[in-house]
Structure 1
């Protein structure tokens, strides 16, 4: 993995890296992270030839209003285009999503979840908006009195630590669990990832089975 949250921000650098991997005949597989507005079809095709197997995209939200509130400066259409280009280039995709950012409602959260399923990624990460000290988000929720804890062991992007008038912490936790449940328990998805195999395929099937067992436990308890 190239650990860089915007690997393709300098596309000429990425091309040089890929060209060198190809020139040396290095038989390696790798993945990377980037933004949906920082890729082109030719670049993705070259990355694939250089051994890239998957790309993690910061989708953030499937609701344009929420993307604008996060000041991400890209559009839903750019997200759709990036995923299509990546799939056409033979790359697996992973969607990174933020749930619970101020302004989020139950409706916008589900709009995002349904949007993610329509993108058909190989995997997904639903992360809870987390206000780390020193960030504008922390200052906002602190000023508005929304922050519920400063136990930083809970600042793990999986646990809500602030609550807005639009979405309670309990409801956000419930939505996040259901989002994963709906994503991983689709029969067609499980079959597709089982047939694919490899690191991503095996991981997806294991996660799907884990959510199946957890769902059965909840239903029977």
Structure 2
């Protein structure tokens, strides 16, 4: 049984021009890699076509998939990549009529079985974690999906969920992701520019789920529980990446890497004891960090800590996530800097209830923080997020799936315009990065992250063309 996984590219990030983001930040499709490894460990053949890592598009991509003659094609799609994936599925339905077509990933899990009523080329949906569900579906020859938990199938022509799939209780029971199935790994895959000291590098995930209730987060795939790999498993994962692929730096892409303090402390102890020459970045919640934990992170090789700050307006924060005092944010970020690590702030603008005044408060607040860099996303109401249920009552929502990638303002809060939001977004980026302190920080990258400098210079023409389009 051969399963071919496809990770569609989706729409261009801003809807026009060249997608420069994948030149400077390309994460391996870890969900697909985990499922592929699970299938291989049980005697099945798994292949992967990551459209971000290949130049193949359109007919050439279809021809390549047909050439491999899979028994099933499994698509993993975000909301913005779903329609591109479905167009491929329609073409494959004609060219590979015997192959089963399966869709999973965030969009399938958040929209659910109603997709089967609207998109006839899809045979099955995998709802929730994919490892066990896809294996059992494949082992059954892609028949009788209704008997397998976690499967969306058609019953009398109507999309139906078989039964909920229980979450995998022990993540250490899963094999390491099948990185070797990516032809250009790790050369083609890299962390964001200036966010690492050495190359090659990559991302890993060591936990699943989240217990928090942020209004804008879609938890459809892994639910709201919190499960994690043991410190021993994580260290072995890093050792494998270093041994087999030469990885020298990793980004823990977990939303809540620092949630379980004992796990983090044990990981830091093991990694330091092993003298493993792999540095790392992580994402932390402000309420989880203190001097002691930060010293542990630094000693074990942590280079940068990212924090989700989202907004500088207290009322906006209270409406959408657990509140954390703005003065306390400044204090915690200063602790990270004093511990010797870089700090990145994650912000979001265009949330329901925001106004020009509240966004300007966020901009001014961000400029007051001891941040080395920022990432600013454009609020996108995904179908699985709590806020999606009444989003149209709070503003204008253009539910155009290809544009729902957090880099387009598909939602406009009441009292604002899309042009206003775009102007404030550009002003945010411009004011933050066009400061002497930030310029000096990037000058230091000549010796702190020489690979970033080389990649930046290599792609300078694309950067300049992008800058001209933004008219900053």
Query: How does the TM-score come out when normalised to structure 1?
Result: 0.88
Change beyond 3 A, Cα 1:154–1:200: farther
Work out the CA distance in 2 between the residues paired with 1:152 and 1:96: 23
- Counterparts of residues 160-179 of structure 1 (less than 5 Å): 160-179=409-428
Aligned to 1:186: 435
Displacement of 1:98: 1.2
Deviations 1:75-134 (A, max 9, x none): 212211210110110110000001111111111111111111111311101111110013
How many residues were matched structurally?
216
Aligned to 1:112: 362
Aligned to 2:297: 47
Work out the CA distance in 1 between the residues paired with 2:451 and 2:317: 30
Deviations 1:45-73 (A, max 9, x none): 11001000000000111111111011223
The DSSP-based 3-state class of the residue aligned with 1:109 is: helix
The DSSP-based 3-state class of the residue aligned with 1:37 is: helix
Work out the CA distance in 2 between the residues paired with 1:165 and 1:99: 14
Matched, 1:153 2:406: no
Aligned match for 1:88, one of 330, 338, 351: 338
RMSD of aligned Cα (Å): 2.5
Contact 1:194 1:201 in 2 (8 A): no
Contact 2:372 2:441 in 1 (8 A): no
Contact 1:181 1:211 in 2 (8 A): no
Work out the CA distance in 2 between the residues paired with 1:152 and 1:216: 23
Work out the CA distance in 1 between the residues paired with 2:401 and 2:430: 27
Gaps of 5+ in 1: none
Work out the CA distance in 2 between the residues paired with 1:145 and 1:74: 24
**Which has the larger share of helix?**
1
Aligned to 1:127: 377
Between structure 1 and structure 2, the one with the greater Rg is 2
Contact 2:345 2:375 in 1 (8 A): yes
Displacement of 1:216: 9.7
Contact 1:130 1:161 in 2 (8 A): yes
Aligned to 1:14: 264
Contact 1:122 1:200 in 2 (8 A): no
**Which has the larger share of strand?**
2
Gaps of 5+ in 2: 1-250
Query: How does the TM-score come out when normalised to structure 2?
Result: 0.43
